A and B are shown apart, each in its own frame.
Chain A
Amino acid sequence: TQLLEQSPQFLSIQEGENLTVYCNSSSVFSSLQWYRQEPGEGPVLLVTVVTGGEVKKLKRLTFQFGDARKDSSLHITAAQPGDTGLYLCAGMEAGSSNTGKLIFGQGTTLQVKP
């Protein structure tokens, strides 16, 4: 079973600061997704990256897939209190294209203080 390690697990910052969350594995994933989850709700998809080296931007959020498709990062510029939540990375297992199974990292809890 492939594993995804997220770091840091907890992050508390002031509004306006920048931050980066990392998602690493020793295995190759065919694609990787990032989700954001708020208390009492299910995760919501932010982005999917499928090509090694791919960079996607979503307003102040920048997502990157490693060249070898083993790692990914999420960078938030000028964080705002509304960015507070649990961020989860998830990768599709190699050979799971016919089942769509995802492996999830443990998550990064982000708190942005006003």
Chain B
Amino acid sequence: DAGITQSPRHKVTETGTPVTLRCHQTENHRYMYWYRQDPGHGLRLIHYSYGVKDTDKGEVSDGYSVSRSKTEDFLLTLESATSSQTSVYFCAISETFANYGYTFGSGTRLTVV
């Protein structure tokens, strides 16, 4: 059941280039989130959205921007990729409040060389 898909699954990019990751959902959920996962740090929130064009920063938002022009799509952009942004990026959706749990995508493994 692919209610949430991330693209691309893997990407290698050069330092200084812009990169956009896409999260697409078919569940019509209001809330969408971008996390990064790094060894020893667990999952850290980058940005989140609580509706179309309504977004806010998470704990590690520096160097990242997001956009949500439609309910189903949440884009994460690295304006100028750095090696410290090498990570696995996960998108998650939530129906109403987090009490009901997140549904995660399969992740995008990004390598910045």
Contacts and interface: CB of A to CB of B under 8 A. Distances in A.
Interface of A: 1, 6, 30-31, 33, 35, 40-45, 48, 50, 88, 90, 92, 96-107
B97 A43 contact: no
Contacts of A100: 31, 33, 48, 50, 94, 96-98
Contact of B41 (A31, A96, A97, A106): A106
A40 to B, nearest CB: 7
Interface in B68-113: 90, 92, 94, 96-107
B99 A88 contact: no
A74 B58 CA distance: 27
Contacts of B35: 104
A48 B104 contact: no
B45 interface: yes
Interface in B38-64: 40-45, 48, 50, 56, 58-59
Contacts of A92: 97-99
Given A43-B104, A44-B104, A90-B43, 11 more contacts: A30-B99, A40-B107, A42-B92, A48-B99, A88-B42, A88-B43, A99-B31, A100-B48, A101-B98, A105-B42, A106-B40
A97 B43 contact: no
B97 A42 contact: no
A95 to B, nearest CB: 12
A48 B100 contact: yes
Contacts of B97: 92, 97-98, 100
Given A99-B31, A106-B42, A40 B106 contact: yes
Contact of A102 (B40, B98, B105, B107): B98
Contacts of A42: 90, 92, 104-107
